[in-house]
Structures are given as C-alpha cells and as structure tokens.
Amino acid sequence: MNIQHPFLTFDRQQLVDLRSRLQHDESLRTRYQAMIANKEKCLEEALLTEEYANSVYNQHGNYYEVGAQLHRLMTVLGSAYAIDGDRACAEKLIQAMLHLCTFAAWTGPSNKDRDVPWHSDLSTTRIAVELAYGYDLLYDILSEQDRDTIANTIYQKGVLPLLQDWLLPETRIHALDSMGHNWWSVCIALAGVALLPLIDRIPDAEWKPLVEEINRALIGFLQYRGGALFNKVPNYDEKGLFYESVGYFNYGTGELLKYLWHAERYFGTIDDLRAALPEGMSDAILSFAYPCHKNERESVTFLNFGDSALDANIYGMLHWLPMLGISTPAVEAYLARAPHEEDMLSLLSRADWKGSFACLPRTALYPASGYAITRSSWENDATLLAVKSGYTWNHAHADAGSFVLFDRGIPLLIDSGACSYGSPYYTTYYRKDDSHNVLLIDGKGQREEEQIRGSKFPGSLTDTYSENGITYVQADATGPVAHLCSRMYRNFLWLDDGILLIIDDVLCHTNATLQSLLHFNGTYQTVENTAVTTVDIQNERSRARVFALTPSNITVTEHTGYLATNMGTTHPKDADHGQWEVPYLSFTSDDRQRVHHRVSAVLLNEYADRLCVEPIEQPEVVGVRLTDRTDGTVRTVYFNERADGRRMHINSNHTLDSWETDAYILMTEQKNDRLHRAFMVCGSYLRDAHGVLHSSYDKITRELLK
C-alpha cells in the first residue's frame, strides 16, 4: 500500500489549509502560539535516559514519563515544524526519536520477571504511537537510514511486542477474561495506530492479517459478555455503560475510537467495528456528568465512583465522536466546556461547539450495572442523587449500596474517591467499604479478596421508579456481604429534589450490630435537644440535616478518613500525615440482633427548616412522618415489616394507620386532609374506608394518585 506522508492525523492539503486559516483567523493563531509557547524550552530539554526509565522496579517503571516527554516534544516541536517549517524543531524530534530507538524495550523492568514474562504494557503504547506520529510527520526529511531505524524499531519494540502479548496465537498470553478491561482496548488499539504509517514498508501478507485481527479483537472487547468462572461482568451493559468507572470508560473506549478514526483514514469505513460500538455509550458516560460553575466559569464535574475523579476529563473519548460522525447535542455541550490540550488535531477540528445537556433524561437507571442517577435538572449547579450497587473488581470499589448527593455546584455527601496507586492509602482505605456510604455488620463489609477475584455475587438494583418528583431505588447489596447476612436491601426514596428517605432492611446470619457510614464534604455538628439523633452537615454552598429515626438508640461516632487526590490534594506515597485526615460518621445502634430495620432521613437546605420530622414505630411498622410547616402538607412513609420475607404462604397484609395493604413500602402525601398522591413499593392492593386505590394480582411499584 502506497502512502504519501504525512497522513496519520493530517495530510498535506490539510496543512496548507490550516496555514492559510492561521493567517486570517486571529483566535486560531492565538491558540497556536499558546501551543508552541514552550518551544525554546523544549529545544533545550534533556532527554530522559533508559537508566531513568528502569529505575523503578514495577510494570511501568518510568516509561510513562518517557512517553509523556516525547508527547510534549511532539506536540510543541512537531506543530512548529508542521506549521512554520522550523527545522531546529524537527532536528530535536529526530534526536529524541533515535534516542528512544536505542532502548532495549519500552516496558517496565518487572514485566520480564512475571510468570509468564510480559513484553509490553500501557506505557509501550504511548511511546510507540508518539514515534509513529513523528515518523509520519518527519518522513520527508528523514534520511533513508533513519527511516529504516525508526520504522523497524516502532515495529519490533512497539507493535510486535503488543501484538505478540495480546493477539498472535503463537505467542499470546492475555485473554478477555483476564485482561479484558481497559488494557485490552488500549494495548490493541494503539498497536494498530502505531502500525498504520508503517504498512507501506511491510508486505501485504504480513500487515493485512494483523489489521484484521486487531479489528476482530476490538469487536470482541466491545461485545464481551463476561465470564462466570472468573466473576467477570460484561464490559458494556445493554445501555452502553462501561462498568469500570468514568475515568477508565474514557480511557479504554477513547483509545479504541482513536484507532477507528485513524484506521478509517486509511481504509474507509470499517462497518463491522462501527456496528459493534455500544448504542448509547456517549449518553451513558455523560449521565455521570454534573454541569456546574467553577471559578465563575461553566464546567463539568463527574461522579467519582471507583478509581475515577471529580475532575475527570472525558474529552479523550468524546472528541472522536463528531469526527466519526456519531455525535449528539450532549456530546457537543460537553466539548464546549471541556478543558483539553491543544494539538494539531484540535486546531484542525471544529471548535465552535454548541449543544445542550437537556436532551439527556433527568434520571438514568442502569440496573444491569448497578447505577441510578437522578437530578433536579441539567442546569448548572442542580441537585443530584446517585446510588451504586454493582460489581467489585480492580478499579470498581467495595461500595455496594453506596450513595452520593451533589447540590449547588459541589458534592455534599460524597464518595471518598481515590488516590495515587502508589499510596498506602489506596489498598488500606479507598478501595474498601470504610471509604463509602455503605452498611457494615459488626464493623465488617466485603471480603478484601473480591478486589482481586471479583464479586461472585455482585450488588444490584432490584427495583426502580422515577416519575413526577418521586424516584425510588432498591439497592440489593446482599451478594458482596453474603458471608455476613442473607438480606441487605437499601431503599432510597427521593422526593421533590430535596427529601431523601433511606430504609435499610437487613437480616444478619447471627446477632450483630449495624453501622451506616456517611462521608461528607464540609463540616458537621450534632444537633442537641432533639428527640432523634440528628446531624447537620454544611459546606459553603449547601447543607443537609440527617435524622437517624429508627431504632431510637442510634449514636453517632466520628472516624478518620482521608482526602482524595481529586479533592485538590496529592498524597505522599510513603507518609502518613495528619494533614490528609478528614472525619466521617458512623451511625450505630447497640442492639445486637439478626433483623435490622433502619429508617433515616436527609433533608436538603430549606427542607431542613420547613419539615417537622417524627419517627413512626408501631407493631411491625416503622417509618417517618414529615409535616411541612409552610403549607401543612404531610408526607408519611411506612415500612411494612411483615413484607420483609418473614411470612411464607401468607401475604404481608397489614394496617398502616387507616390504610390496608400488603405493600413493602407506602408513601402518602396529604394536603388539607385530602390525599394528594400515594406511592407504593411491591404491593398488590391499597384501600381504606373510602374505597380501593389499587388492586393487582402481582405486586408492583408505582405511583397511585397525582
């Protein structure tokens, strides 16, 4: 195949057009000048050595830093050469490229000592791809000897080690069931990108089967349905959500899309790979977005479940979608706000993004993956509640049954996030139950081995509803703690964007105490002289009043947690300093028993002042009554303990004040002594002296009156 270089990211005509635009477009010229502002510094920069790359004995060594340096030089000096023809920049790049060609390998030193030895890792891809970009860009001024050296080295030390480890049947050591998460798509896709500018130097009979196998392997990644033996879940659920947190969703899927875009520049549309892309994947990742203001500018924060960050940037994935012709208004709304590094591709591509997040639903439910997200709106600084009860493995933490609450632009009730993988806190705190808003039994949660082996019985969402200001989520967290209990249901009832009721339904194997953990961003204060245990949590923008309603003997204990790197700090890797410590709360009853039914309420901002809160404790019934002091509205929530599975062959019939029902949970809302609306969870009938409001032969969850 004959290739006229450059072609990998842009061709000669695109460069001509860009140079012309730079002469007339002042804004574009300003962006370009900012991009190459460090040109002189880059020209003088000392190249990192192979000794430095191998000075850390682990799977990556310091090869990430080596690749990052090459990327920086390629972005600044490569752009200056492409646009201005700066020969000094080209010579520095050639020096850097030939320098990397002298390295024995582009992978961390510990990989050779594995059983079986590895010959590549993620850092291999970074170096190989940057060299491929440089080879493509500088092709015309490279001597024939340098072309041979660089091309052969990319192939021998980058492409082939990756493909031999991941693809080729004669040497392959990885499988989708072992490394089929983000590594699979990154290593294979970027090996493909690095291969593309070399194919005019490789016989057709050699490169064509490689490209075919790369495409087939990436389709396999997109369509992977999990494996029971190794406790693996599908990579993407039926709604296009990738299980491994926002950051790794962006990384793994983004690098695959990078390959698709580059490959289609060579081969035209790759129909089978496009057809395998999960439908709805951009909406799925953006459902974790939280539009807000930061430093008086419009920005986006992300839910930070697992090994992801509040300030995650998914530009790396989403900017490929409009280039591939599969964008959405929500994608463009994000691109308009997303910070990103300027490079030649960003100068060449569209920048006047408009779009709107409003095309996305306010409530996103992912039962297969265990996520539920609801918000007051897609406007900036809205109120957002999210619940997670899903899989644990690797970057997915031990957090089944956890929840977070964002309000007025910042997190209020939080997930602790993550930190550097080199920090001792990563394994001893962040991945464990203690760092999440979960339930513990006698202070215990998931077994630590599940972080390695995966959840044989993951958490799940077993019932969901969201209409007319009512969102209900039942999180079944039993599976991951099945060694401690046979029932752990967390019922979240979210009313009118400011009232959160949590009903925990737990059946332990033996008599035990139950603790509910609460992590927060701000300060807390115990409210004195209240009938039930009450805590106020507040930061500079928002506040919540938390009521531990039943049982009546709950006490609050302060524990020590740690700040996350995504909360504006960086942990030292080998120190335990008090400056990283933050408090979190544990709500505990001294009762040691098998059955625990706990009712809690979280009232946000003005609801904390408006509502009078009264616990309900009746025979086989617990709940709460919320009376609005401003308009007299009374919201009553009942939990029918007869419906907790204790009655076999007998329906869970009960009288809840004036109501007769077999429902598991009942919420009524009365105004001026008239029923305004009712909501029933898992019930087949509801009636009172005035008649029947609902009757069905099976038990359903639904709103009954509005």
Per-residue pLDDT averaged across 574-583, rounded?
67
Number of compact structural domains in the chain:
2
| 682 and 566 part of one domain | no
- Measured between alpha carbons, how far apart are the two ends of the chain, in Å? 67
Full domain range(s) for residue 695: 631-706
Q: Which SS3 state, helix, strand or coil, does residue 221 take? A: helix
Lowest mean pLDDT among 396-400, 458-462, 578-582: 578-582
Per-residue pLDDT averaged across 75-86, rounded?
97
Give the CATH number, domain containing residue 420: 2.70.98.70
Distance CA 139, CA 7 (A): 10
| 376 and 493 part of one domain | yes
Q: Is the pLDDT of residue 577 over 60?
A: no
618: β partners: 621
- pLDDT band at 547, cuts 50/70/90? very high
Does a structural domain hold residue 187?
Answer: no
Please list, residue by residue across 565-578, b when 16 or more beta carbons sit within 10 angstroms of its beta carbon and e when fewer do.
bbbeeebeeeeeee
| pLDDT value for 530 | 84
- What are 217's two structure tokens? 């392997």
Does a structural domain hold residue 705?
Answer: yes
Does a structural domain hold residue 105?
Answer: no
Q: Is the pLDDT of residue 570 over 70?
A: no
Per-residue pLDDT averaged across 367-374, rounded?
96
Q: How far is CA 384 from CA 119, 290, 313, 424, in A?
A: 45, 8, 19, 32
| pLDDT value for 568 | 47
| 454 and 511 part of one domain | yes
| 406 and 487 part of one domain | yes
User: What DSSP string runs through 419-450?
Assistant: --TTSHHIIIIITSGGGSS-EEETTB-S-TTH
Question: Tell me: the pLDDT tens digits for 615-640?
Answer: 999 999 999 999 999 999 999 999 99
Q: What share of the chain is helix, strand, coil (3-state, %, to 5)?
A: 35, 30, 35
Distance CA 421, CA 59 (A): 13
Distance CA 335, CA 291 (A): 12
Q: Given 613, 642, 665, which residue is the final one in a domain?
A: 613
| 671 and 564 part of one domain | no
Specify whether the CB–CB gap between 651 and 662 falls below 8 A.
yes
Specify whether the CB–CB gap between 306 and 244 falls below 8 A.
yes
| pLDDT value for 130 | 98
Does a structural domain hold residue 75?
Answer: no
Distance CA 462, CA 473 (A): 8
| pLDDT value for 80 | 98
| 578 and 607 part of one domain | yes
Give the residue carrying structure tokens 């990756």.
162
Q: How many Å separate Cα 543 from the centre of its chain?
A: 25
Does a structural domain hold residue 227?
Answer: no
Q: Is the pLDDT of residue 684 over 70?
A: yes
Question: Tell me: the pLDDT tens digits for 435-457?
Answer: 999 999 999 999 999 988 989 99
Does a structural domain hold residue 348?
Answer: no
pLDDT over 90 for what percent of the chain? 91
Q: Is the pLDDT of residue 529 over 90?
A: no
- What are 578's two structure tokens? 């008090």
| 501 and 642 part of one domain | no
Q: Is the pLDDT of residue 185 over 50?
A: yes
Residues 6+ apart with CB under 8 A from 559: 434, 517, 583, 584, 585, 586
Across the chain, mean pLDDT equals 95
Q: How far is CA 459 from CA 178, 388, 389, 402, 454, in A?
A: 21, 8, 5, 10, 12
Per-residue pLDDT averaged across 405-432, rounded?
92
Report the sign of the C-alpha dihedral through residues 128, 132, 133, 134, in that order.
positive
Q: How far is CA 236 from CA 231, 319, 358, 396, 451, in A?
A: 15, 20, 24, 14, 19
| 455 and 503 part of one domain | yes
410: β partners: 407
Distance CA 248, CA 477 (A): 24
Distance CA 164, CA 191 (A): 11
Does a structural domain hold residue 84?
Answer: no
Specify whether the CB–CB gap between 528 and 609 falls below 8 A.
no
Please list, residue by residue across 667-680, b when 16 or more beta carbons sit within 10 angstroms of its beta carbon and e when fewer do.
bbbbeeeeeebbbb
Residues 6+ apart with CB under 8 A from 450: 392, 393, 398, 456, 480
- pLDDT band at 302, cuts 50/70/90? very high
| 609 and 647 part of one domain | no
Q: Given 586, 613, 640, which residue is the final one in a domain?
A: 613
| pLDDT value for 559 | 97
Residues 6+ apart with CB under 8 A from 655: none
Does a structural domain hold residue 563?
Answer: yes
Specify whether the CB–CB gap between 694 and 683 falls below 8 A.
yes
| 596 and 704 part of one domain | no
CA torsion angle 204 207 208 212 (round to 10): 180
Question: Tell me: the pLDDT tens digits for 463-520?
Answer: 999 999 999 999 999 999 999 999 999 999 999 999 999 999 999 999 999 999 999 9
Residues 6+ apart with CB under 8 A from 375: 290, 362, 363, 382, 383, 384, 385
| 371 and 466 part of one domain | yes
| 450 and 598 part of one domain | yes
- pLDDT band at 245, cuts 50/70/90? very high
| pLDDT value for 295 | 86
Q: What angle do CA 643, 649, 651 make, to 5 degrees?
A: 40
| pLDDT value for 574 | 45
